[in-house]
Structure 1
Amino acid sequence: MLASTLADVLTPLYSGRLVDAVARAAAVKTIGWDAALAAFSLLIALGFGAIVTRHVAYIGINGLTMKMMSDIGNNAFHRVQRFSTDWHANSFAGSTVRKISRGMWALDLLNYAILVELFRSLIMLIGLTVLFGWYRPVLGLIIGCGSLIYVALTVALSLGYVAPAASLANTWDTRLGGSLADAISCNAVVKGFGAEAREDERLAKVIAKWRHRTRRTWVRGTVNGTAQGIMLVALRGAVLGHALLLWSRGQASPGDIAFVLTSFFVLQGYLRDVGMHVRNVQRSVNEMEELVDIQSQAFGIADCPGAKSIRITKGRIDFDNVQFHYGTDRVRLYNDLSVSIKAGERVGLVGPSGSGKTTFIKLIQRLHDASGGRILIDGQDISKVTQASLRSQIAIVQQESILFHRSLSENIAYGRPGASQVEVEEAARLAGAHEFIARLPKGYGTLVGERGVKLSGGERQRVAIARAFLANAPILILDEATSSLDSESEVLIRKAMERLIAGRTTLVIAHRLSTVRALDRLLVFDRGRIIEEGDHAALIRLDGGIYRLLFERQALELNTGPV
């Protein structure tokens, strides 16, 4: 790029010499022709040299920029994937995607503005200032000082006047993306309540704010451009006026005037674009701010230095004086909670909403870190092992099954990607999913839609159960895994799940107490404490017990409910 720009710097010099050679040709034709031919040859050589070197530069910069964009995208995705569940719960997926994609493309603009345009402008400014200083010192002084003043004012306007408005406009651009994604991803709810007009109004308010902020940024950019144009006209007057003064005194030849004119108009083109490129640099910086913010955020849950992979063979779980509170909450949910779950034991977690059942599961998965105490699996402290190795050996079927917009085979094999098609189909049979999958036009190759929306709730649940079958993990977590199934499917699934949980440590979060009657032990939670413990038969006999109260209430609702 340096070489190609130097070729542009020298072009006006040889253009001036070509004009002088033509002017002299009337007096001494042979000498004039030789000088003109020499200047012409050098101009052609400089033109080709600039093209070749610029081509090489662009190829290199393209490769560099694509590598940087890829690395930034991969790194941002890596971090976002490892942020805590709380971070994801408090973030719009659409906004996060917008931040990453906009930051990646902002780097492309940044590299082009700095490595290509501003660098070339800098070389052109220095080169012509030196050339003019050697050729006409006063012109060199005018060019150098005028250009420095122009660049300084341009940078000041861009950073102090345009940039603050651009940063605010980008914030509203992110909000717009989040609002669009939120409404579109929940379109089924919108249609269910006939709320299309209401969502139109809601988005219109966001767009109005975005339009106002963005228009202000554009207006400030226009004002900045006008100010730069005025400064360029003033610089043009100074340079050309001095050149004409020299010519009027007989101190400049026609070639000198051609040299000055050509040089200034080349320089003016570069300087005019300096403002645009400075604005592009600032714009790209503004657009990367939110991506940089993602990079600066600490992981909610981080592996400790030197963490090793955990190896779960039996699946014994021990809570040893565990303390836990959410975020900045001063009140602890768990206060010295201690409980042991034997290897292969089937345990139900029972209690009213907010009692601590789900938190218990999340602590085992290390989706949260305990505030005190230890959680051990097979005697290994889970806070000292890698999260990936821990979670890969715990299979979970959630109450709300989430699937990828991928094929059914890929979704079922997600817990064990190397599984064969035969193993995938066997897992589907165990989960009662094979029959409905086989009826689909593309069978196991069917794409299920975003979050699995092309399947019914029961079908999604059975695919998630098949995924847990195939994972074959020593610890199994079921968050009311049969809640979305019809009665006929539920009977089939229960039998299959009895085979699945045999010999595995199984934790079942129970909302319908009829699902936990056959489990080995039930832990009854209330406000972060285990207040009752035992099997169904023992707990149902406790007078005034919470489990008995919950069970009787559900039985009464079942018996008196509508037919």
Structure 2
Amino acid sequence: VAARPGIFVTLGLLVAAASISSIGVQYAMKLLIDAMTGGIRARSTVYAALGGFLGLVILESVLQRAAALTLGQATVSSGVGIRLDMVNYLTGHQMPFFQNQRAGSLGHRISGLAGIFGAIVHRLLREVTPPLITFAGAMLIFVTIDAAMAAILGAVFLAVTAALILLGLRGHVHHTAFAQHAGTAGGELIDLIGNIWVVKAFAARDRELTRLEGFLDEEASAQRRGWFFVEQMRGLHDLALAVLVGGTLIWAIGRWSTGAISTGDVVIISTMTFRILHGSRDLAMAVIDTSQQFSYLRETLDIIGVPQTLSDVPHAPRLRVGEGHVEMANVTFGYDASDPII
């Protein structure tokens, strides 16, 4: 990010603008419904609200596509730089480091770094930022309707999100275990393919497949535990969502029946309540998944990013090629003494 600040700042602005536009779409729908159901049905007001609604829909779509294209450009170009930097650092290690690590495993981890970085950026800008902006916009709208309701829904959003994140962090051990097993299994697979001639020469195909199956089974078990944990959390959130949305709608309809709020207010309360509560789940899942990606990143850096045992002194001058020469005297080489190559 520090190497390309311009494109990431632009990306953040596009994501924020798209999220704000989506809130504007919901508010424009409220204005349209109020204009259509009001006591005085002025066509000019209805068409003005309709024009604003359609304009915001188009603006949101354009901003979303621009953000997606910018995100792709940023992550792809950054992924290339990350892998080159890691290979440059890796080649600075001394030979004992490579004797203790499998070449296939190191290559698999470096190749995966670009994907990890892309996943982290995608989660932060496309799944963490929009729910937060939606929550802030919903609170501003709700305050104009009923401050008490805004306070209650805001507290519920924060409580649900915090509970999901805390529960999700308890599953960090599953994500870390999966990252370790995935790196090991991927490295073993690459080494098996890279040494296929040795495997065939010693007729070790069945033995190597059995050994690889053990690594893949361990990886699958760790991944299954993580998935089951996440699905349990989603089930709890869906139950809470049904209860909270039902209660909010009952309250809103009660207020509407007394004439305290308009039909458009009921619509925007229902839609924004769904958005912020679904956003709480998406936000929590994104935070948890981001922590999982950081686990993968940390596990890779703990192996490749260890300090180099022998490195140049900072600002050391480079060796200069002199004007010497190499002279070979009485040197003979060949497979047949009667017909030497040299």
Q: TM-score band, normalised by the shorter chain?
A: 0.7 to 0.9
| TM-score of the pair, normalised by structure 2 | 0.86
Deviation of 1:218 after TM superposition, in Å, equals 1.2
The AA in structure 1 aligned to 2:253 is L
Offset at 1:83?
1.1
Superposed, which structure 2 residues align to 1:394-413 within 5 Å?
none
1:542-561 alignment to 2 at 5 Å?
A: none
- Tell me what 1:38 maps to: 48
Task: For residue 308 of structure 1, report the CA deviation from its aligned partner.
Answer: 2.1
Q: String of CA shifts for 1:114-147, please: whole Å, max 9, x gaps.
A: 1222111110011101210122112211221111
Give the alignment partner of residue 312 of structure 2, picking from 291, 297, 303: 303
Q: Name 1:5's counterpart in structure 2.
A: 19
CA distance in 2 between counterparts of 1:282 and 1:126 reads: 24
1:76 and 1:294 in contact (8 A); partners too: no
- Specify the alignment match of 2:105 in structure 1: 95
RMSD, aligned CA: 2.6
Structure holding more strand per residue? 1
1:234 aligns with 2:243: yes
Q: Deviations over 1:239-267 (max 9, x none)?
A: 22321221233322222211212222333
Selected match of 2:282 from 257, 273, 277: 273
The one-letter amino acid paired with 1:175 is: T
> 2:260 aligns to what SS in structure 1?
coil
TM-score normalized by structure 1? Answer: 0.54
Q: How many residues align?
A: 326
Q: Any idea what SS the aligned residue of 1:228 has?
A: helix
Identify which of 265, 272, 275 aligns with 1:263.
272
1:123 aligns with 2:130: no
CA distance in 2, matches of 1:266, 1:36: 25
* 1:225 corresponds to 2:234: yes
Going from structure 1 to structure 2, the CA distance change for 1:344 and 1:122 (only over 3 Å counts) comes to: same
Q: CA deviation at 1:154?
A: 1.9
Q: Which amino acid aligns with 1:56?
A: A
* Other-structure match for 2:188: 179
Q: Which residue of 1 aligns with 2:90?
A: 80
Question: Who wins on radius of gyration, i.e. which is larger?
Answer: 1
Unaligned 5+ runs, structure 1: 317-342, 347-429, 433-486, 497-563
| Residues 1:176 and 1:315: Cα distance change in structure 2 (over 3 Å) | farther
CA distance in 1, matches of 2:108, 2:339: 44
> Retained in 1: the 8 A contact 2:34–2:262?
yes
1:250 partner letter: G
Distance of aligned partners of 1:176 and 1:492 in 2 relative to their CA distance in 1, 3 Å threshold: farther
Q: 1:245 to 1:492 in 2, by over 3 A?
A: farther
1:295/1:203 CA distance change after superposition, 3 Å: closer
Q: Which has the higher helix share?
A: 2
Residue 146 of structure 1 corresponds to 156
AA aligned opposite 2:246: G
Larger mean CA deviation between 98-107 and 48-57 belongs to 48-57
Q: How far, CA to CA, are the matches of 1:49 and 1:431 in structure 2?
A: 75
Which residue identity lines up with residue 228 of structure 1 in the other structure?
Answer: H
CA deviation string 1:421-452 (max 9, x = no partner): xxxxxxxxx987xxxxxxxxxxxxxxxxxxxx
Determine the C-alpha separation between the residues in 2 that align with 1:212 and 1:93.
25
CA contact (8 A) 1:225 1:275 kept: no
